[in-house]
Amino acid sequence: MAAFALAVVREDDRQNKMHMIKCKNISKTYTSGAGETRVLKSVSFTIRGGEFVAIMGPSGSGKSTLMHILGCLDTPTAGHYFLDGNDVSNLSDDELAAVRMQKIGFVFQAFNLLPRATVVRNVALPLVYAGIPSAKRELLAKKALDGAAFPEGFRNHYSNQLSGGMMQRVAIARALVNNPALVFADEPTGNLDTKTGEIVLKTFQDLNEKQKRTIVLITHEPYIAEYAERVIHIRDGEIVSDSKNHTRRQVAG
């Protein structure tokens, strides 16, 4: 009996390591003076390394709370979250910060750039907190800008001199500067017009297909989710569907 139990544990470990992300009965409850609010309700799914997945749902569905847990910005109230085979469900804030620095990049709807800093300085900023020397920071920032397809002639511009699409590509480069295997994009085209948004989505497709990075796109827009290869629908804190996108949009170019 003990040998069988050990075999089951080893199989679970093997399965965990096959996936970049594994959520097992993840729940999140917030408590206030008005009582408890269950935002996530026993959510379970996996994402393999190298997938491009959209998590889609309306406002209040729990998708942003889920992203915060997947991105190690928060921890679940119950359940287990495995990242690269490691259970990160109960790590301290400092331990979560170390995981983010090593493995994860974020791109948000708001570009969150320093307006009077150059493009290169904005991209290099996370490396300052990591204690990377100045010369190496600049080299890594330029490499990340290459990865985000940001034009070389604009790299010494201040961020407030750029168009919205270019600012978002700076934000993408900043997300790539620590060379993460996993990138979260939270409504990344929300502040952009359709044509510019497609350029940004093309960048994410290239990061996935050419650089083999795992992309998790958070959106409430069905047509944005169509650019991913798989779509997870969440509503009222529960997954209502999880399917391959057989009519996936591809951005030309």
Domain extents in the chain = 2-244
pLDDT tens figures, 100-159? 999 999 999 888 999 999 999 999 999 988 889 999 999 999 999 999 989 999 999 999
Query: 12: pLDDT confidence band, cut at 50, 70 and 90?
Result: low
pLDDT tens figures, 189-215? 988 998 899 999 999 999 999 999 999
Q: What is the pLDDT of residue 15?
A: 52
Query: 35: pLDDT confidence band, cut at 50, 70 and 90?
Result: confident
Q: What is the pLDDT of residue 142?
A: 95
Q: Are 76 and 89 in contact (CB under 8 A)?
A: yes
174-184 exposure pattern, b = at least 16 Cβ within 10 A, e = fewer = bbbbbebbbbb
Does residue 11 register a pLDDT over 80?
A: no
Domain 2-244 in CATH: superfamily? P-loop containing nucleotide triphosphate hydrolases (3.40.50.300)
Q: What percent of the chain has pLDDT over 70?
A: 92
